[in-house]
Every structure is written in C-alpha cells, then in structure tokens.
Amino acid sequence: MSQIHASPDPAAEKQTSGGSNSSAIRLLELIPGILLLFVVGYGGKFIEQFIARYGKSHHLVLPNIEYVLWAILIGLLIANTAGIPRIFRSGVATYDFWLKAGIVLLGSRFILGDIAKLGGISLLLVFVEIGLALLFMTWLGKRFRLAPKLISLLSVGASVCGVSAIIATQGAIEADEEDSSVAIAAILALGAISLFVFPVIGHALHLSDHAYGVWTGLAVDNTAETAAAGALYSDAAGKVAVLTKTCRNALIGFVVLGYALYWASRGQAAGVQNKAAFLWNKFPKFVLGFLLISLLATVHFFSKPQLLALGNLSRWAFLLTFAGVGLRTDFRSLSKQGLRPFLVGAIGEVVIAVLTLGLVWGADHIFHL
C-alpha cells in the first residue's frame, strides 16, 4: 500500500514559529519588572542587615525591623512618587505568581502533623469568620445603599481571599468591571494599612505567635498582605498566618458558587450547569501544591539539604512578593474610586478585625491555641 506524505504547510510553520517568537517576546518583557522586584526586595533585606550591623558595631539597641516592611515601603515610595514605567509593569504583575510559588514551596516547612496542630478550634474560626464577614458586609453595604452586586463583591473579598475572590465572583455573577475595580481598590488600600497596624496591636496585646498568626490569617484579606503582616511579627507567626489564610482560600469555590446560584435565581447571571466543574474551576490550585509538598515532606521524600533549599526558595519567592505589594499599591489611583465603597470596606474591615481578634483572644485563653 502506498503512503501519502503530506507536504509541509508554510502557513502553519509560520504560525507555529510566530507563536514561539511571541512567547519568547512576552517572556523577555517580564524580565525588567522581575529584576525590579528583586532589587526592591533585596534592598529591604540590605537595609535590615545594615541597621543590625550598625547597631552592633556602635553598641546601640536599634529596632529590629524586618526586611518585609522595608521592601514594602521602598515599593510604596517608588509607586507613589516616580511611578512604575511601562517597561516594568508586566514583570511587577508577576508578584502574584511568586506569592503562589512561595506558598507551594512553604509546604516543605510543614509536615501534615504541623497542619493538624492548627487545631479544630482554629479551623472552626475560619468558618465563623467567613459567615460573620458575609453577613456584616452585606448589611453594611445595604445601609450605605451601594449597588447590590458591588455589595456581593465587597462581601466576598472581605470574607474569603481579597482580590482573587472578587475577580472570581465578578465573572460568576456578571458584575460590572467598574464595581470589580472599586471593590479591589478598597481591599488593596485596607490591606496596605493592615501591614502597619496588625503587628503593633499584636505586640501591644502580647499575642503568641500562633494566636497572632491565626488572627492575621482570619482578618487580612489579600494573601500577600497576610503573609507580610505575619512575617513582620515573627517567622512562626508568618507560617501560621499563611496556613490559616490558605484554609480560607480553599473555600472560595463554595462561596462563589453560592453567589452565582443566588444571582442566577434572580435572572441576573447565567445558571451553573455543572456544580462540580464550577467548584474545580474556582478552587485555588496552589493549595493542592502546598498540600502535595507537605505530604512529600511528611513521608521524608526530601533529604534535609533539599528541604533547606526548598525553604530558602520559598523565602526568595516571598521577597519578590512583598516588593510587589508595595509597587502595585498606587494611592493616587485608589483615591479616584469614590468614598462610600471605601467607608464600607474600612468600617467592615475594622469590625471584622475586632471581632476575629476577640474570638482568637478568647479561644487562646480558653483552649490555648
């Protein structure tokens, strides 16, 4: 039987080549911004070490301010003075990728027994926080007469996981992009403020690392700001904060599904045909990566040098993340979004922070978190 050989298709080869070239160009476009993240993050590390060395050599007792805060402050200074030139913007936007990579790699510093030590009380507080935040933000938004779908976006952002939850919910309930932008702006502004306020309150109340980490994981909405606020307190508190926040993140699909079904029942959003597929689509996959690495660490898949290397890679990823938090926070653009959503967000965040602090403080004194 004779074989038919297809002749090469020049158009197809050109398209393939063009696709490869465009991917390479997009990758090259990220490099300047990633380098800026590294310079800002390492600049924060340099300042921390310089102050420590100066104090030691001059026999001075100087405050030990973690590199996390310095990196964020440098980023804020750049973003709100000179601004971020276009050449850096796409690379700076990768800070969210470094955040998720850092969380996955952080799994190497947890064995499953450590995760279990978070405790049933702490996990219960995650569900309590989500329920309280949804109810209070919905009530408050109605009192301020915000648009109904904007209320939904603010409620989800404040209860589950900040910007990611808002973006996921916007598509599910077919909300306007303007509402989404307003909700995101409010969450980002308040997340930036929490970095400075939470550690001060934690030290003033002499919270343990575990209690502070749980409180931060419950009350700070964006995962990047949660990791930063926890790390500013201590390394141990940072680990607990990320773990608690990861538990909140894992529930995003269920909350978004609930809102999608609600708005679909009112004829203002498309119906959900396959609930299981919807949940899988909305579920944050980096949570599975975190659990996988933790499982491998638990069964001693990694040697001690490998675990040390993974832990160090996690710290480098978070260093880029914290730099991105500052560089991506432009207070000038946030101020253009209007006052009422920010008032709702600010009042809601303060109330939720106070309520969760009371819950954590009470649980810590009764059950010894």
Q: Which of 49-53, 54-58, 175-179, 355-359 has the lowest average pLDDT?
A: 175-179
Quick one: what percent of the chain has pLDDT higher than 70? 91
Does residue 180 sit within a domain?
yes
Q: Which of 33-47, 110-124, 132-146 has the lowest average pLDDT?
A: 110-124
Tell me what the mean pLDDT of segment 347-364 comes to. Answer: 95
Kindly tell me if the per-residue pLDDT of 356 is higher than 70. Answer: yes
C-beta atoms surrounding 175 within 10 Å: 23
Does residue 56 sit within a domain?
no
- Residue 77 or 342, more confident: 77
pLDDT band at 6 (very low <50, low <70, confident <90, very high): very low
The count of domains in the chain is 1
| pTM, full prediction | 0.76
pLDDT of residue 253: 85
pLDDT band at 64 (very low <50, low <70, confident <90, very high): low
DSSP secondary structure string, 194-214? HHHHHHHHHHHTT--HHHHHH
The residue assigned the tokens 């920010």 is 342
pLDDT band at 103 (very low <50, low <70, confident <90, very high): confident
d(CA 336, CA 59): 47
Does residue 20 sit within a domain?
no
Does residue 77 sit within a domain?
no
d(CA 277, CA 283): 10
**Who contacts 29 (Cβ-Cβ below 8 Å, separation ≥6)?**
90, 91
C-beta atoms surrounding 80 within 10 Å: 15
Does residue 29 sit within a domain?
no
Write out the residue range of the structural domain in which residue 214 sits.
Answer: 94-367
Does residue 87 sit within a domain?
no
Does residue 268 sit within a domain?
yes
- Residue 133 or 195, more confident: 133
pLDDT of residue 344: 92
Does residue 269 sit within a domain?
yes
